[in-house]
Amino acid sequence: MRKPWTGVCAATLMATALAVPAHAQELHSKIGYPDGILCIAPEGGSGANGVSITTVPCDPAYPSYFWYLQYVRMAVFQNPFAKEPLYWIRNSGTGKCLDLTDGRTADWTPLQQWDCTDTDGQLWAFSPMGAFNKIKNFRSRQCMDVRAGSGEVGAIIQNYRCANLPDGTENLAQLWAWGPH
């Protein structure tokens, strides 16, 4: 059984970004927890391809702690009757995209940063869930997730099946939001 977040929601998307605009650009924001203590970033702040994405203490002095959306295209994805926008989630410090490691779609696949390319493993869609969003990968059809629901610094951000907890409540390790600089 996966642990729910204890007193900490996965990450916050501000209400202003909740309905992600179809052609959002340069929306530089942190992906972090509601209390503003943890964000996500390339491990060690590295700009190299293949670096895992982990939780880090939020610090506005580091550009690699911030991300922005870049519209890529419309596609049929979560709703079989309508096209929806797909985005690259780009790191503000490195310019690289959030990516499935080696294009793998299995549960527990760590997310990494990589040069932005025309691959489905770098395309993401947003599903509103109240004040938050689930961020889903186009290739895997799975959610961006914090491994084991950890609230600790250094937790791996991974690809994991979108699921509620056994009691039917939302899996807080899969709820995300944009926060201001």
Cα separation, 159 vs 164, whole angstroms: 15
Please tell me the number of Cα atoms within 13 Å of 91 on its side-chain side: 31
Cα separation, 3 vs 177, whole angstroms: 20
**In this predicted model, what pLDDT tens digit does every residue of 120-173 receive, in sequence order?**
999 999 888 877 888 999 999 999 999 998 889 999 999 999 988 889 888 888
> To which residue do tokens 């309508």 refer?
82
Domains of the chain: 15-158+175-179 (2.80.10.50)
Asked if residue 17 has pLDDT above 60, the reply is no
DSSP 88: E
CA angle 26, 32, 38 (to 5 degrees): 135
**In this predicted model, what pLDDT tens digit does every residue of 96-105 receive, in sequence order?**
999 999 999 9
Task: Tell me the percentage of the chain whose pLDDT exceeds 90.
Answer: 47
Beta bridge partners of 160: 143
